[in-house]
Structure 1
């Protein structure tokens, strides 16, 4: 069993607060811009107290809100179960899944302890891109990370993040497929709503923990 690194998995939090330094193209430039916004929020003395935690999270959420393609992320996370859904059901799921991700990972911005990111490559193929990076912690240990993005108009939006070979989308797809197979799509929706109502994090409240692919 291998749990995803809590810092790196903070999609709207931890990874995007790390200082970015490297020459790169448009996809990496957008990651850098979001990072700078988040750093300004976390460095704000007025938001550093524990009593300002929710306000700090709200600031980070706003800073990275336009960086993710939640429609594409949701479609890929549901896999084959996405196609039969009506437009209304798809809109409902995107909102639920986005809220689930934010509730799970935004609080983890508090775990930042000075990690650094080193970009090692960027590849662009038409409207798809992948940005390869290494996260260096205080013990000089490197963790490989890959951001996958699609071009939407003039912007590049993240639809997946892989850490040490573990894809966020693939991990959720496996969990969601298992629940739908055992119950139904509505059973999955009900379960997500229950998680949100209780405030539990998805990997700490009954969903399978992440594992490395065999």
Structure 2
């Protein structure tokens, strides 16, 4: 049974995969990353066509979706920022090695955990309704996403502008006032409290190893 929490996270991953699918379709064009609203809108507009074209192929194996996400989604995601937020206060005391290893394990596990669910939700349209910048270099993009069953979901993406490249990157997703990153912090922060950083990294790696073995 798909829980409401799985649904939220799956929709979040689908929103991110929209970027990947759109990027694949726009190989001869530049993807707008100097404007957060345009970035989300342009990429979302291409989701329906690309998913329709590739749905059968992607449904053949979760590994295809996962590799697709790794190759195409992650360039548009602020991985370090997400991992840092998920670790919470533990990020400050973690060594550089632990930070790198946790980020890799966290992102890899996140993609694997939800890649098999995103195709279950069929988006028929998406539109950016409003873009606000609470402070320079930070943006909140409100969007309405309509599903094939008639539901209209109000989603909010959070993005920040990389100081070096000037490009906007996504780092959070909110649905019904529930922040994905806050949920992650509650989960992983508690795990680190109980087990320590190294043990949590190992547990995430073990989950991936188990998933790899079961898919073979």
Give the TM-score taking structure 2 as reference length.
Answer: 0.75
CA distance in 2, matches of 1:66, 1:56: 16
Deviations 1:51-82 (A, max 9, x none): 46644553344232211000001101111000
Within the alignment, does 1:69 sit opposite 2:78 as a pair?
A: yes
Closer, same or farther in 2 for the Cα pair 1:14/1:49, shift >3 Å?
closer
Equivalent of 1:161 in 142, 158, 173: 173
Closer, same or farther in 2 for the Cα pair 1:42/1:33, shift >3 Å?
same
Give the TM-score taking structure 1 as reference length.
Answer: 0.76
Q: Helix, strand or coil: the match of 1:8?
A: helix
CA distance in 2, matches of 1:49, 1:149: 27
Instruction: Tell me the number of residue pairs that the alignment of Structure 1 and Structure 2 aligns.
Output: 194
**Higher fraction of helix:** 2
Deviations 1:20-60 (A, max 9, x none): xxxxx810222244446665653446963754664455334
Counterpart mapping for 1:148-187 below 5 A: 148-152=158-162, 153-187=165-199
Equivalent of 1:128 in 132, 138, 163: 138
CA distance in 1, matches of 2:54, 2:67: 16
Closer, same or farther in 2 for the Cα pair 1:49/1:94, shift >3 Å?
closer
Within the alignment, does 1:81 sit opposite 2:90 as a pair?
A: yes
CA distance in 2, matches of 1:180, 1:51: 35
CA distance in 2, matches of 1:191, 1:116: 38
Q: Is the 2:109–2:204 contact (alpha carbons within 8 Å) kept by the matching residues of 1? A: yes
1:3 paired residue number: 5
1:138 paired residue number: 148
Q: Is the 2:76–2:170 contact (alpha carbons within 8 Å) kept by the matching residues of 1? A: yes
RMSD: 3.0
CA distance in 1, matches of 2:66, 2:172: 21
1:189 paired residue number: 201
- For structure 1, the residue ranges without an aligned partner over 5 or more in a row are 19-24, 201-214
- For structure 2, the residue ranges without an aligned partner over 5 or more in a row are 23-33
Q: Is the 1:130–1:147 contact (alpha carbons within 8 Å) kept by the matching residues of 2? A: yes
